[in-house]
Amino acid sequence: MKQYTIAKLLNEAIKYNYGDKRRIAHLIKVHDYARTIGILEKIDPQDLFVLESAAILHDIGIKVCEEKYESCGGKLQEREGPKVALEILKKLDYDVSDIDRILFLIAHHHTYNEIDGIYYQILIEADFLVNLEEENSQIKTIENVYKKIFKTSSGKEICKNLFDLKMRG
């Protein structure tokens, strides 16, 4: 049942981003990395559900930010994203407790100094994996992000393999 809800949410996010192939591909990749890391880290199934939902919706505020501010900066996304996400989550009959946790993650997915939970950590790692790849980041940047951001063993392993990092730990 939870996977059906995730599929419906993914479909809603794709519809919301109608015609924007790059943004749709981004949210799918972040979701896939987050789900993979979450499963490999053996997080609780309920936390995995929240993580997957937040990963799908993490950038949902970009469209509003571009229309409202002509910018899609991270802090603006954190401000506007939860409002858009709330409507979608209500439409799909998410539980209030799950909604609160998902909205928190969306409202903090560009805040890296207060990471306080495994699903929060995994969302940040998944988003960085995709952003570093999409931005064709330099190896020095990737190594710095790896050292500062990545904490899960699965996220570290994926990052090393994806970017051919020769680092230890």
User: Read out DSSP for 88-150?
Assistant: HHHHTT--HHHHHHHHHHHTTTT--S---SHHHHHHHHHHHHHHHHHTT--HHHHHHHHHHH-
Domain range annotation of the chain = 2-163
pLDDT for 104 equals 95
pLDDT for 114 equals 85
Integer Cα distance of 25 and 139 in angstroms: 23
Q: 123 falls in which pLDDT band (50, 70, 90)?
A: very high
- The residues, any chain, with a CB within 8 Å of residue 72's CB and separated by 6 or more, are 62, 65, 66
Axis crossing angle, helix 118-134 with helix 45-57, rounded to the nearest 10: 40
Give me the CATH topology for the region 2-163.
Answer: Hypothetical protein af1432 (1.10.3210)
pLDDT for 151 equals 97
CA distances from 2 to 6, 8, 87, 93, 95 (A): 6, 10, 19, 12, 12
Which H/E stretch holds residue 48? helix 45-57
Rounded mean pLDDT, 1-20? 95
